[in-house]
Amino acid sequence: MKHLILELENLDCEGCANSIRRSLLRQPGVLSVHVGVKAAQVQISCEDDLDRAHVLSVLENMGFPTLGRNTMLNMARAKLSCELGKIRHRAYSQPLMS
Q: Is 56 a domain residue?
A: yes
Q: What is the DSSP letter of 94?
A: S
**What contacts 59, CB < 8 A, 6 or more positions away?**
6, 8, 20, 24, 42, 65, 66
Q: Is 68 a domain residue?
A: yes
Distance CA 51, CA 59 (A): 13
Q: Is 9 a domain residue?
A: yes
pLDDT in tens, 41-91: 999 999 999 999 999 999 999 999 999 999 999 999 999 998 888 887 776
Q: Is 73 a domain residue?
A: yes
Number of domains in the chain: 1
Q: Is 40 a domain residue?
A: yes
**pTM, rounded to two decimals:** 0.87
pLDDT in tens, 17-42: 999 999 999 999 999 999 999 999 99
Q: Is 98 a domain residue?
A: no
- For residue 55, the domain's CATH number is 3.30.70.100
pLDDT in tens, 85-94: 888 777 666 6
Q: Is 6 a domain residue?
A: yes
Range of the domain at 36: 2-93
